[in-house]
Amino acid sequence: MFLTKVGAYNTASLKGKSNDGKLKFRFIKQIIMQRHELKNADIYSGYNLIGNCSTFSWKCQSETGLPCHFSIAGLNCEYDMEALLVRKDIYLRAGEKEYIAKNFQIEGVSDLVTGTAQSIELLFEKFPEMKSMTDGEKVVISKETQSETLKALTGIIEAIKFSKSFELLDIKEAAKKIVSDIQESEGAILNLMELRSFSGYHLTHNYNVGILSAYIGSALKLHEKALLEVTIGALLHDMGKLKIADTIISKDSKLSDEEFEEMKQHPRYGYEIFKDNPDIPAASKTLILQHHEKYDGSGYPESLKDIEISLYAQICSLADVFDALTSERPYRVAKTPYEAVRILNSMVNTAFSPEVLQAFIRKTSLYPPGSLVRLNDDSIALILRNNQTSLIRPEIKLIADKAGRRIKERKIFDLAKENKLYIKSYAVPSDLNVTIR
Ligand SMILES: [Fe+2]
């Protein structure tokens, strides 16, 4: 990416003197027009990967409130161009950088596609905590596995939405990579989809639940074939929602009784989609059908209880609730991983079996990786990974001092080896007022 200033000029220059003749204030405001360019960018809608382009360039005038103008060269839409024509937020990913283009609107299509956006900003500047979770750290799921899984899921979502035929080879390959990444990643950070709060919930939720289920399955010491079956089922667990009307799926208020009854059919719809497909293991199909059953029999669609529910479905159900709690939804702010684990804990013996919940908590500990905590000196730290020897002494990275100022040289501490530092409480990102730079 490059960035050039193509114009810089004053809009206001104001000087004044007070009665005693001293200089009172001087204010110069500048409008700076900046040109940016991304090479080989992937383009995501709020729902899925739309395609890619060779060059995405744009100009924005700071502080004017006027829209940014963009042009796209070498646009290659894998599925439908229509997804780009609807005015909404679009996400761009090039190399390690991710951007959000708000109110993306196409105005012309010739050699170049041109249009406007209300603003185009780096995602990581808006949500630094989310990004800092994986920057420079050893992570569980490699970028390659992440992008192959998202691509495979996107293909299946598109096919189901438009009632086209699909193959599951890519999903099975992705599941193999997820399982192998998890088996090789002792002590690494569990990196769920970084766009999850901002991009399409359906895609990222299926992805996250797939990863989390494999992670819980590995904590339960399932053998490789079982881990694959769990992962395949969990990656596809919510596809039945694609058969439910958008008005119900994206409703941002409480569903009516009738709407909720229809929503409760999605495990059955999902099962119907895959039931005759010989490429999916039978156990994965059962997981899809049973992922909303609850340990005490209060779930749906069949009100199964305890061991009537397959172990794989119990794993997926826990991953499903954890991901839903920690994701931003139109009607609810995201919980921190720490809060989510506390809520899960309160649901033992009602929603979840103690064995499955304990395996998950053992693996994530009191402070799941990615949580923010306040230390005894009031500084803020990010949990990197847990210590096998001490649940309350994880490895941390300092991110802000006690005044909330972001620490540039981020120091990493192994609390098991520090006797003066300890965790005082967990911290909520929105309460911290941590500055970006
Ligand atoms: Fe579901």
HEC sequence for the chain: CEEEEEEEEEEEEEEEECCCCCEEEEEEEEEEEEEEEEEEEEEECCCCEEEEEEEEEEEEECCCCCCEEEEEECCEECCCCHHHHCCEEEEEEECCEEEEEEEEEEEEECCCEEEEECEEEEHHHHCHHHHHCCCCCCECCCHHHHHHHHHHHHHHHHHHHCCCCCCCHHHHHHHHHHHHHHHCCCCCECCCCCCCCCCCHHHHHHHHHHHHHHHHHHHCCCCHHHHHHHHHHHHCCCHHHHHCCHHHHCCCCCCCHHHHHHHCCHHHHHHHHHCCCCCCCHHHHHHHHHCCCCCCCCCCCCCCCHHHCCHHHHHHHHHHHHHHHCCCECCECCCCHHHHHHHHHHCECCCECHHHHHHHHHHHCCCCCCCEEEECCCCEEEEEECCCCCCCCCEEEEEECCCCCECCCCCEEEHHHCCCCCEEEEECHHHHCCCCC
Q: What is the pLDDT of residue 137?
A: 52
Q: Report the separation in Å between the CA atom of 272 and the middle of ligand 1, taken as the mean of its atom positions.
A: 14
| Beta carbons within 10 angstroms of residue 330's beta carbon | 9
Higher pLDDT, 108 or 287: 287
Per-residue confidence (pLDDT) for residue 95, from 0 to 100: 74
Lowest mean pLDDT among 52-66, 127-141, 319-333, 375-389: 127-141
Q: Which two tokens stand for residue 71?
A: 């042009």
- Averaged pLDDT for residues 31-44: 81
What is the whole-number distance in angstroms between the Cα of residue 237 and the centre of ligand 1? 6
Gap from CA of 433 to ligand 1 centroid (Å): 35
Rounded to two decimals, the pTM is 0.61
Ligand 1 center to residue 239 CA distance, Å? 8
Span from the CA of 145 to the centroid of ligand 1 (angstroms): 23
- Residue 321 C-alpha to ligand 1 middle, in angstroms? 9
CA of 291 relative to ligand 1 center, distance in Å:
6
Band (pLDDT 50/70/90 cuts) for residue 14 is very low
pLDDT tier at 365 (50, 70, 90 boundaries)? low
Q: Residue 292 C-alpha to ligand 1 middle, in angstroms?
A: 6
Q: Is the separation of the CB atoms in 99 and 38 below 8 Å?
A: yes
pLDDT class of 122 with cuts at 50, 70, 90: confident
pLDDT band at 323 (very low <50, low <70, confident <90, very high): confident
State in Å: Cα 372 to ligand 1 middle: 28
Indicate if the pLDDT at residue 217 is higher than 90.
Answer: yes
Q: Ligand 1 mean position to 290 CA, how many Å?
A: 9
- pLDDT value at 128 more than 60: no
pLDDT at residue 104 tops 60: yes
Question: What is the percent of the chain where pLDDT is above 90?
Answer: 32
Q: How far is the CA of 106 from the centre of ligand 1 (A)?
A: 34
**Where exactly are the structural domains of the chain?**
2-126, 132-364, 372-432
What CATH topology corresponds to 132-364?
Hypothetical protein af1432 (1.10.3210)
Q: Is residue 24 scored above 50 in pLDDT?
A: no
Cα of 51 vs centre of ligand 1, distance in Å, is: 27
Task: Look at 68-72, 294-298, 382-386 and tell me which has the smallest mean pLDDT.
Answer: 382-386
The overall average pLDDT reported for the chain is 78
